[in-house]
Amino acid sequence: MKVTIYGSGYVGLVTAACLAEVGNRVVCMDIDEDKIAALRGGRIPIHEPGLDHLVLDSMEGGRIVFTSDPREAIAHGDIQFIAVGTPPDEDGTADLSYVTAVARSIGAHLDKYAVVVDKSTVPVGTADKVREVIAGELAARGSDTRFDVVSNPEFLKEGSAVNDFMRPDRIIVGSDSEEAVALMRELYAPFNRNHDRVMIMDVRSAELTKYAANCMLATKISFMNEMANLAERLGADIEQVRIGMGTDPRIGYHFIYAGCGYGGSCFPKDVQALERTADDIGFEARILKAVEGVNHRQKHRLFELISQHFDGQLDGRTLALWGLAFKPNTDDMREAPSRVLMEALWQAGARVQAYDPVANDEARRIYGERDDLRLCASAEEALEGADALSVVTEWSQFRSPDFDMVREYLKAPVIFDGRNLFEPKRMRDRGFVYYAIGRGAQAA
């Protein structure tokens, strides 16, 4: 099938690569000419396991091309995916300017029937706006070209997005057009062979499903962080509580890990956007407000523990950080807890020695070169001469370190574990002062 993807960011590039992998002819369009030039040269702008292989293989096979020419992109696709960014405005609402810009461009040049697909995470009612914009542009040039607008939200997890696309849990299609639904079923048939994963619903329900799913996951995380803070004060161990909770099949084990808060490009943005949507229609979304508030507070928890340990005297101290990305297997630092911690440490006069397996370059892009930040080439280098270690991202290589080496490199055997990777008793037995999240009395 002939497919056009607008946007070569995270969602757009993964969608393009996976659709091309199964034989579709894909044109990926972006207005950022530098990004398009890099992709044409085989340079993948994001870190996502397996993505580079798919893109390069499809480029060699002629199944995917990259362009900055909207006319070329619009002329190509029978199905046209809008996968551009929807960053939050200052008040938290989703900025739809990129989405509507693509819609205007489609309306200005479309000359054959096409299915326009909202792939970006967008507020309820966006498909109606996209339809209105395209129809307005067509009317302005006297064209009666037919088109349909479909909602097809993505459910990709950073770090496993390729697998999520190739082996989806569900494929949600929001449309009232039988013609559009038939084309979408044909497009997704290669990913749907084991059993039917396609769920057809109305457009607004599809749009809300994406927000509801992400907000539920964010709610589970904030709830567990709330329980962790209670456990800390009651002398209980949130890890034991988690295991006891997870055995209940109505709850399960997914997304019930306490820690130093969630980040990334989805949960923070989507919780805020749905909260603002509720405000706009005069409904107070109390749970969403609480989820956002708990997460904001939790991101400051590591700094609170560090400051308490050092009696507020952080000026001139050096903290080692393991992990900068908001989660493992990505270099994404958007809304990452590491940023909140580092900025608080700098404000207090401390220096940071940080290591992340893939996000060092992203940290350098965000913060530039500064005297109070040293980006290290290894976990060991980050420890050298530091007053304490803080674990912020649960990369696999941090789960079972050489603790003798850690003690040797640090000035003092002090660890602040924002992801509860280690057992307090074992850390105490090894001679460490150990702080975790919700593991009973602190400084085991």
What is the rounded CA–CA span in Å between residue 48 and residue 46? 6
Task: Give the chain's largest Cα–Cα span.
Answer: 78
CA distances from 388 to 122, 339, 410 (A): 42, 18, 6
What is the rounded CA–CA span in Å between residue 387 and residue 2? 57
What is the rounded CA–CA span in Å between residue 18 and residue 154? 13
What is the rounded CA–CA span in Å between residue 44 and residue 295? 32
Single out the catalytic residue among 28, 215, 260, 266.
266
Query: If residue 153 lies in a helix (H) or strand (E), which one and from where to where?
Result: none
Q: Which of 169, 121, 156, 157 is nearest to 328 (CA)?
A: 157
DSSP assigned state of 439: B
| Tokens describing residue 312 | 């507020």
| Tokens describing residue 377 | 């080439």
What is the rounded CA–CA span in Å between residue 227 and residue 443? 19
DSSP assigned state of 1: -
Residue identified by tokens 């749905």 is: 274
2-6/79-82 β-pairing: parallel
Q: What type of residue sits at position 357? A: P
3-state secondary structure of 416: strand
Q: Which of 133, 178, 171, 168 is nearest to 151 (CA)?
A: 171
- Say whether 28 is catalytic: no
CB atoms within 10 A of CB 1: 15
Burial of 196 (0-12, 13-18, 19+ CB in 10 A): exposed
Active site residue ranges:
266
